[in-house]
Structure 1
Amino acid sequence: MNIQRPPLHGLLLSGGASQRMRQDKAALPYRGEPQLLRAWRLLERVTERAFLSVRNQQRDDPLRAGLPQIVDSYDAIGPAAGILSAQDRFPEAAWLVLACDLPLLDEATLQQLIDARDVSANATVFASRHDGLPEPLCAIWEPSSHALLKQRYQDGSYCPRKALIQSHIVLLPAPGDALDNVNTPEERDEMQHRLESLA
């Protein structure tokens, strides 16, 4: 029996509060442009449609206002709010969910994820190079993942990684340092030095 292949949409998560960075991570420039716009261009190139995940108070932010948006329809519960809101709006679609704070991510890494996609699984994900656990914020979430995410939300459990651990997933080897993220000013300085050394 052939399993129907859901369309692949992109969801760029930009709704975080960036408390540890003490400024909007999405607006931080790397290689001359805000990392949100760099991540957006990557996502647009590899998916059929792409959307920016935002909180309601971010809708009119100049960096975000010009991009197609899906506004969180759940309380401030972290990335799960964005994923669930997107799944509610387009329940027939699979979602390539991407955090906006991955300055080393490239198109080849995203294409590797897409090429390995298994529509019979709940998700196709990379392993973290730090602990081997699934990375929920560079992952393809199939429509079948929605029921578990929604149930966990209703039970008060909001961690997408734990949802993946409970799911039928395809777990790919970590793609080197491509998923290293930046959460603090110190990590940002270190990342800038790394990018300069690669230039």
Structure 2
Amino acid sequence: MPNKLKNNNLKGLILCGGESKRAGTDKGLKTGNGTTWVKLVANKLENLGLDYFVSINSSQIEKYKNEITEKLFILDDLDILGPLRGILSAHQKYPKNNWLILACDMIDMDLQTIRSLINEFLYTEKHDFYVYKNEEFYQPFCGIYTADGLSKLLKKYSNKELDTFKLQNVFKNHDTLAIPINLNDPSFNNYNQP
């Protein structure tokens, strides 16, 4: 699969730039199984043969240099609230890439769930976004955000037409392939609390 991923400009992006207000500490630097969460998620992408980058804000550079090589950093540089800040910053830097987005706290995400998503992207008709959805919500991470879909969002942002930065609304208002999952799928466990 690695050659097919390269031919489709698919890269991984690990989101670490959030403020972690609910968690009380930088989630990417929390540890489990003897390693940091950002490395646990990076290992998943490496196991799939997927090149990746790490989205952080400028205040995190020194801390993350001990965990991830600096050439993999993409700094948040847009004035947007929420995860779109890191996602659109990555798109602005590499506008031809399609991005497989994982949050740094997606430590329970299994490789088969990621592979299934990649297969939807590679082998179905083209959409702007590919995400899982349970009975209630789209699950924005693990998701694939295409270069075309992100170009549309960046244009709306630049024209001040993006009325909300909530990903649930982005998916509802764009060409999104929603892949059904069970509400209690452990791959999507949330670790926002301390």
Question: Closer, same or farther in 2 for the Cα pair 1:60/1:85, shift >3 Å?
Answer: same
Q: Deviations over 1:67-98 (max 9, x none)?
A: 51111111251210111011111111100011
Structure 1 CA distance, aligned partners of 2:166 and 2:39? Answer: 26
Shift of 1:8: 0.3
Letter aligned with residue 161 of structure 1? Q
Aligned to 1:116: 120
The DSSP-based 3-state class of the residue aligned with 2:141 is: strand
Letter aligned with residue 84 of structure 2? A
The DSSP-based 3-state class of the residue aligned with 1:121 is: coil
Aligned to 1:189: none
In the TM superposition, what are the counterparts of 1:44-55 in structure 2 within 5 Å? 44-46=46-48, 48-55=50-57
Shift of 1:48: 3.8
Question: Closer, same or farther in 2 for the Cα pair 1:76/1:23, shift >3 Å?
Answer: farther
Structure 2 CA distance, aligned partners of 1:22 and 1:48? Answer: 30
Question: Closer, same or farther in 2 for the Cα pair 1:86/1:136, shift >3 Å?
Answer: same
Structure 1 vs Structure 2: percent identity of aligned residues?
Answer: 26
Aligned to 2:179: 172
Q: Deviations over 1:80-121 (max 9, x none)?
A: 011101111111110001111122112111111111114610
Match of 2:69 among 52, 66, 69: 66
Match of 2:193 among 181, 184, 187: 184
With normalisation by structure 2, the TM-score equals 0.83
Question: Closer, same or farther in 2 for the Cα pair 1:163/1:124, shift >3 Å?
Answer: same
Shift of 1:33: 1.8
* Contact persistence 1:11–1:98 (CA under 8 A): yes
With normalisation by structure 1, the TM-score equals 0.81
* Contact persistence 1:91–1:143 (CA under 8 A): yes
Shift of 1:66: 2.3
Letter aligned with residue 166 of structure 2? C
- RMSD of the alignment, in Å? 2.0
Match of 1:85 among 89, 95, 98: 89
Listed as ranges, the gaps of 5+ residues in structure 2 are 1-6
Question: Closer, same or farther in 2 for the Cα pair 1:92/1:77, shift >3 Å?
Answer: same
Aligned to 1:13: 15
* Contact persistence 2:17–2:57 (CA under 8 A): yes
Shift of 1:148: 3.2
Shift of 1:32: 2.5
Structure 1 CA distance, aligned partners of 2:84 and 2:152? Answer: 11
Letter aligned with residue 136 of structure 1? P
* Contact persistence 2:95–2:151 (CA under 8 A): no
The DSSP-based 3-state class of the residue aligned with 2:188 is: coil
Question: Closer, same or farther in 2 for the Cα pair 1:48/1:65, shift >3 Å?
Answer: closer
